């Protein structure tokens, strides 16, 4: 296993710079191709409401979307480098998750107020901002609130921009203590804790907005034109992760079977298995995740790409092929007998793998049950926050985990009690037989 600290860590930072370079190269490619006005598309991305579901590939085009992705990636990378944030599993998960949602809901403007709020909170609590940076980066799940308040055409106000900034700062300030409290509800069995926290917080804020007749119009803007390009780009990234991981892991896949057996519950793969095996897992999981919507007959788009990249990121912090497959299968089974469309099944399956630790700890059957419940709940739960929490599946997963855990534990306790009683009876019967044999032997 490679070392987590030292020069190896510096080399990993160099790899993130390579990824940033690839993003910038893609942006330049689409600019030079000249089929779209990148600047105009980028402005549309910045100034459009981003309520679920808003695919930036439709709003701004490929060039503008990759520019947005590049800027967000560089912003988080620069912050982490300047503050000295360790590049552990959860940090990698945040990198890829925020990066994924830069194709779908998050832009370089609507995430900034949360960071300001986080900085103010760190000053207020006298802690280092780097200690909560990952939490704040995940908090950008509520980025649509900023865009909606600032650019909602149904609510005209000269103070709209200021209101949006203040709202974002307040969210960034209060989210860290909320996230710590909410983690206890699902006991870590929902990997997207900030999705659950964002759902609760989003429900409260959305209710306040509704009280004052703030109109949020749901959207369903989904791209269908860039399937091949996204598959080629994604495949290149996933292959690179596998090759890089193979090289770092002393040019071998040694130890990967051990990683696959991990339950995924509160598991930082970087710390437990090293960068090499973690990157190998991320690359393989990228292909697995990409195959799920393909097998369902879906073309890749911004939202599905966000789901795939989120799986890749959390393959550094809990997800393996073995613990996500039951969830994916459970979501797929939920399709039968319902009117749910293929896109919803694909998207809910990808993000529903947040429940992977349930399958990892309690077995594949409970994983399938969790997946089936998830597809049912996630389609209704968005109404609570008005579609303004991008991690809607994380919200649903938190509810499912909190609901299932007592049932699973009660069932297991009941089974264990029956098993213990059975073993006691078997032991008593064995002792009786043995005692009888001894008595007979004494008589003879």
Task: Tell me the percentage of the chain whose pLDDT exceeds 70.
Answer: 87
Report the DSSP beta bridge partners of residue 221.
Answer: 54
- The pLDDT of residue 217: 78
Please report, for the chain, the start and end positions of each structural domain, with discontinuous segments joined by +: 7-211
Question: Contact, 319 vs 312, CB < 8 A?
Answer: no
* Model pLDDT for residues 127-150, shown as the tens digit of each residue: 999 999 999 999 999 999 999 998
* Model pLDDT for residues 303-320, shown as the tens digit of each residue: 999 999 999 999 999 999
Over range 253-275, report the average pLDDT: 95
* Model pLDDT for residues 373-392, shown as the tens digit of each residue: 999 999 988 888 888 899 99
* Model pLDDT for residues 32-75, shown as the tens digit of each residue: 666 678 889 999 999 998 888 899 999 999 889 988 988 998 89
């Amino acid at each position: 296993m490679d070392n987590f600290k030292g020069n190896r860590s510096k080399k990993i930072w160099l790899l993130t710079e390579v990824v940033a370079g690839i993003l910038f190269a893609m942006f330049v490619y689409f600019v030079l191709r000249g089929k779209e006005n990148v600047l105009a598309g980028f402005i549309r991305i910045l100034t459009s409401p981003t309520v679920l579901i808003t695919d930036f590939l439709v709003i701004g085009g490929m060039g503008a979307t990759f520019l947005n992705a590049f800027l967000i990636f560089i912003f988080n990378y620069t912050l982490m480098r300047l503050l000295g944030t360790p590049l552990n599993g959860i940090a990698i998960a945040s990198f890829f998750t925020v990066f994924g949602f830069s194709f779908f809901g998050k832009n370089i403007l609507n995430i900034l107020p949360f960071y300001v709020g986080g900085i103010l909170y760190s000053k207020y609590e006298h802690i280092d901002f780097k200690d909560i940076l990952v939490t704040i980066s995940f908090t950008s799940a509520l980025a649509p609130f900023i865009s909606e308040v600032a650019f909602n055409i149904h609510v005209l106000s000269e103070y709209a921009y200021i209101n949006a900034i203040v709202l974002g700062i307040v969210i960034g300030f209060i989210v860290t203590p909320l996230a710590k409290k909410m983690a206890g509800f699902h006991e870590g069995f929902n990997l997207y804790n900030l999705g659950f926290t964002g759902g609760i917080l989003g429900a409260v804020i959305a209710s306040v907005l509704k009280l004052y007749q703030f109109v949020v119009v749901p959207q369903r803007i989904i791209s269908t034109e860039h399937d091949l390009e996204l598959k080629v780009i994604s495949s290149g990234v996933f292959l690179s992760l596998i090759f890089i991981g193979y090289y770092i892991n002393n040019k071998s896949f040694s130890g990967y079977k051990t990683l696959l057996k991990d339950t995924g519950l509160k598991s930082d793969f970087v710390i437990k298995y090293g960068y090499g095996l973690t990157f190998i897992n991320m690359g393989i999981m990228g292909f697995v995740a990409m195959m799920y919507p393909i097998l369902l007959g879906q073309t890749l788009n911004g939202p599905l790409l966000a789901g795939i990249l989120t799986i890749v990121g959390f393959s550094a912090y809990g997800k393996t092929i073995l613990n996500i497959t039951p969830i994916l299968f459970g979501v797929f089974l939920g399709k039968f007998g319902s009117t749910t469309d293929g896109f919803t099944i694909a998207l809910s399956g990808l993000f529903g793998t947040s429940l992977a630790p349930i399958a990892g700890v309690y077995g594949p059957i409970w994983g399938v049950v969790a997946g089936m419940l998830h597809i049912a709940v996630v389609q209704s739960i968005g109404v609570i926050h008005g579609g303004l929490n991008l991690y809607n599946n994380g919200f649903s997963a938190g509810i499912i985990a909190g609901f299932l855990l007592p049932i699973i534990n009660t069932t297991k306790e009941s089974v264990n009690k029956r098993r213990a009683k059975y073993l006691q009876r078997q032991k008593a019967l064995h002792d009786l037989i043995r005692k009888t044999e001894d008595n007979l032997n004494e008589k003879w």
